[in-house]
Amino acid sequence: MSSRVCGRVLQRLHTPGSAPAAAPPGSWSRISSPSCRLRAGPRSEPPSRGLAVTGRGPMNVFNREMKKRQKNWAATLQDGHQYDYLRDEVGSRVADRVYDIARTFPLALDIGGGKSHIAEHLNKDVVERLFLTDVSEKTLEQSRRTEIPTTCVLADEEFLPFKENTFDLVVSSLSLHWINDLPGALKQVREGSCTIQTLTLYELRCSLQLAETEREGGFSPHVSPYTAVTDLGNLLGQAGFNMLTVDIDEVQVQYPGIIEVMTDLQGMGESNCAWNRRSLLHRDSVLAAAAIYKEMYGDEDGSVPATFEILYMIGWKPHESQSRPAKRGSATASFGDLSKISQPTGADKSQRR
């Protein structure tokens, strides 16, 4: 988008005078209050290091201590439950995928489970016992009670304090996209079945980039980097999983504007924690991003959509009971003989007569 186009978009920006209409059927709406302001979240410390790779180790993209502070702050909000709608929805969809597996798991692990968003949709017939981990102590204190006996463990997703072959099932919902060493984390959880997600917000990402480019002559990352769907299968394969399944799902939520989108992300504890993030977003850039957001993606009722693209990955630890491809050269039939198989023999022709 050129500066001239951005200028025309900003000229059409008007002050909303009435509450937005209801969201269309089939989507969620967070338009409960017409005027909503950004809360003062945890202060961002200046990054002590940038994107760097030490030797052949993993790239250090995220400040894990900052993510812990963001989640602890979000857990202390008095109205924090109203920001759980996305985690509850994705947790139910993960549970549906667990129900598709026709077996019972004696011991399961939920990585970054927070308030038991997955466990509340499961029962004892599927999972007999559950370990729930999270990097945020405040979040674990608000974990919901379920019929499954649950043990809460304060642990970082990158350094799990469990021995190998401890669990029969490992699940994670909206947590592993903040991990620096995702391949290493997958190797830690290579137990039974593994289901994890990452998410994108392309409308917010594009609006902020275009606005900063027009106003400041360049843009900085305000939305965290994400894993491409084409790389997910390779990550699972490198971690040693078999029988891989990767699929994409979308959850679209309607908001009054870009400010409400960012407010809810703060309330979810999903603010950016990359080392190279900017602690300040200029007012002019915010106004420009709001105008671009509504112009490019806005609906007729004045609301704007935010699309959470959920990427699901399922993998199984190798086992002798799993089906394996036959050895090369062990075939007993040739592809050249396939045409003869479909042709009727002389005996078949006589019987038909």
Neighbours of 124 (CB within 10 A): 12
Which range (6-10, 222-226, 254-258) has the least confidence?
Answer: 6-10
Would residue 212 count as lying in a domain? Answer: no
Give 255-275 pLDDT, tens digit per residue. 999 999 999 999 999 888 878
CA atoms within 13 A on the CB side of 70: 21
Q: Tell me, what's the pLDDT at 105?
A: 93
Give the residue carrying structure tokens 């250090």.
60
Alpha helices in the chain (DSSP H): 3-11, 64-75, 85-99, 137-141, 182-188, 202-216, 229-238, 258-268, 283-297, 338-342, 346-352
Q: Is residue 47 pLDDT above 80, yes or no?
A: no
- Indicate which CATH number applies to the domain containing 144: 3.40.50.150
Q: How far apart are CA 93 and CA 240, in angstroms?
A: 25
For range 114-142, the mean pLDDT? 92
Rounded to a whole number of angstroms, the distance between the first and last alpha carbons of the chain is: 74
Residue 224 three-state SS: coil
Q: How far apart are CA 343 and CA 340, in angstroms?
A: 5
Give the residue carrying structure tokens 């084409």.
230
Q: Judge whether 286 and 261 are in contact, CB under 8 Å.
A: no
Neighbours of 104 (CB within 10 A): 12
Count the domains in the chain: 1
Alpha helices in 47-171 (DSSP H): 64-75, 85-99, 137-141
Q: Of 219, 179, 269, which is closest to residue 6 (Cα–Cα)?
A: 219
Would residue 2 count as lying in a domain? Answer: no
Q: Of 10, 189, 175, which is closest to residue 109 (Cα–Cα)?
A: 189
Q: How far apart are CA 70 and CA 4, in angstroms?
A: 38
The first and second tokens of residue 65, run together, are: 């201590």
For range 112-127, the mean pLDDT? 91
Would residue 138 count as lying in a domain? Answer: yes
Would residue 81 count as lying in a domain? Answer: yes
Q: Tell me, what's the pLDDT at 19?
A: 42
Would residue 32 count as lying in a domain? Answer: no
Q: Of 163, 199, 183, 198, which is closest to residue 241 (Cα–Cα)?
A: 183
Q: How far apart are CA 308 and CA 302, in angstroms?
A: 20
The first and second tokens of residue 106, run together, are: 């004696």
Would residue 98 count as lying in a domain? Answer: yes
- Give the range with max mean pLDDT: 77-86, 209-218, 225-234: 77-86
The CA radius of gyration of the chain, in Å to the nearest whole number, is 25
Q: Is residue 133 pLDDT above 90, yes or no?
A: yes
Helix axes 283-297, 3-11, angle to 10 degrees: 90
Give the residue carrying structure tokens 């038991």.
116
Domain encompassing residue 181: 62-200+224-252+307-316
For range 152-169, the mean pLDDT? 88
Would residue 74 count as lying in a domain? Answer: yes
Q: Tell me, what's the pLDDT at 316?
A: 85
Would residue 284 count as lying in a domain? Answer: no
The first and second tokens of residue 78, run together, are: 């008095």
Helix axes 3-11, 202-216, angle to 10 degrees: 110
**Reported pTM:** 0.72
Q: Tell me, what's the pLDDT at 246?
A: 84
The first and second tokens of residue 228, run together, are: 């491409």
Q: Tell me, what's the pLDDT at 51?
A: 43
Q: Is residue 247 pLDDT above 80, yes or no?
A: yes
Q: Of 103, 315, 299, which is closest to residue 192 (Cα–Cα)?
A: 315
